[in-house]
Amino acid sequence: MSGPDTGATAALARFAAGLRYEDLPDEVVAKARALLLDFFGTALAGGRVPEVAAITELVRARGGRPEATVLGAGFAAPVTDAAYLNGCAADVLEHQDGYRFGGFHPSHALPALLAVAEATGAGLRDLTVAAVAAYEVANRIGRVLHPGATAAGWFPIAAGYGAAAGCARLLGLDAGGIVSAMGAAAFFVPAIMIESIFAGPTAKPAFAGQIARAGAEGALHARAGLTGWPQVLEHPKGLVALFHGATGDPALTAGLGEEWTILEVHQKRFAGCRHTHGAAQACVQIATEHDLDPAEIADVDVETYDVARVLVDRTVEPGGSAIPCTLSLPYVAAAALVDRDVTGAQYAPDRIVDPLVHRVAAVVRIHASDRMNALYPEYTATRVTVTTRSGERYERFVDLPAGDRRAPLTRDELVGKFLRYVAPVAGERNADRAAGLLLDPPADAAVADLLALLTPELPGSPAASPPPGEPVARPAG
Taking only the tens place, the pLDDT of each residue in 419-430 is 999 999 999 999
Instruction: Judge whether 361 and 328 are in contact, CB under 8 Å.
Output: yes
Cβ–Cβ contacts within 10 Å for residue 472, how many?
Answer: 17
Predicted pLDDT of residue 455: 83
Which among 190, 208, 38 is positioned nearest to 108, based on CA atoms?
Answer: 208
Query: pLDDT-derived band of residue 470, with 50, 70 and 90 as boundaries?
Result: very low
378: β partners: none
- Cα distance between residue 201 and residue 313, in whole Å: 16
**How far is residue 223 from each of residues 178, 220, 232, measured CA to CA in Å?**
9, 5, 18
**Mean per-residue pLDDT, 368-397:** 97
Peptide bond into 442 cis (omega under 30): no
Which candidate, 134, 391, 395, 144, places its Cα nearest to that of 250? 144
What pLDDT is stored for residue 465 in this prediction? 41
> How large is the average pLDDT for residues 386-399?
98
Cα distance between the two ends of the chain: 51
Residue 6 banded pLDDT, cuts 50, 70, 90: confident
CA dist 157 → 47, 93, 146, 194, 434 (Å): 23, 19, 10, 11, 30
Distance in angstroms (rounded) separating the CA atoms of residues 155 and 390: 44
Q: What is the CA radius of gyration of the chain?
A: 21
User: In the chain, pLDDT over 90 holds for what percent of residues?
Assistant: 93
Nearest 5°: phi and psi at 397? Answer: -110, 130
Q: Provide mean pLDDT across the span 403-410.
A: 97
Tens of pLDDT, residues 158-203 = 999 999 999 999 999 999 999 999 999 999 999 999 999 999 999 9
pLDDT at 415: 98
Query: Residue 146: what residue type?
Result: H
Confidence label for 2 from pLDDT (cuts 50, 70 and 90): low
Tell me the per-residue pLDDT of 126-167, one tens digit each, with 9 for 90 and over: 999 999 999 999 999 999 999 999 999 999 999 999 999 999
Say what the pLDDT of residue 4 is. Answer: 64
Q: Give the per-residue pLDDT at 477.
A: 29
d(CA 51, CA 55): 6
Q: Where are the alpha helices (DSSP H) in 47-203?
A: 50-60, 79-91, 110-119, 124-145, 148-151, 158-170, 175-185, 194-198
Whether 459 shows a pLDDT value over 70: the answer reads no
Residues with Cβ within 8 Å of residue 150, at least 6 apart in sequence: 103, 156, 194
Alpha helices in 319-389 (DSSP H): 322-326, 329-339, 355-361, 370-375
Torsion angle defined by CA atoms of residues 369, 373, 376 and 381, in that order, rounded to the nearest 10 degrees = -10
DSSP letter for 230, please.
T
Q: How far apart are CA 131 and CA 38, in angstroms?
A: 13
pLDDT confidence of 457, banded at 50, 70, 90? Answer: low
Mean pLDDT within 292-312: 97
Say what the pLDDT of residue 474 is.
31
Comparison of pLDDT for 185 and 460, the residue scoring more:
185
Q: Is the pLDDT of residue 471 over 50?
A: no
Compute the average pLDDT of residues 224-251: 96
The predicted model gives 326-332 an average pLDDT of: 98
| pLDDT class of 5 with cuts at 50, 70, 90 | confident
CB 268 within 8 A of CB 97: yes
Q: What is the mean pLDDT of the chain?
A: 94
CA 265, chain centre distance (Å): 10
3-state secondary structure string across 261-283: HHHHCECCCCCCCHHHHHHHHHH
Q: Contact, 139 vs 101, CB < 8 A?
A: yes
pLDDT at 467: 42
pLDDT of residue 145: 97
- How many other CB atoms sit within 10 Å of the CB of residue 32? 24
Helix (H/G/I), strand (E/B), else coil: 299: strand
pLDDT for 319 equals: 85
pLDDT of residue 476: 32
Pairing type for strands 364-368 and 297-304 reads parallel
Burial class (CB in 10 A: 0-12, 13-18, 19+), 147: middle
As a whole number of angstroms, the distance between CA 164 and CA 184 comes to 9
| Distance between CA atoms of residues 211 and 27, nearest Å | 27
Average pLDDT estimate for 330-334:
98
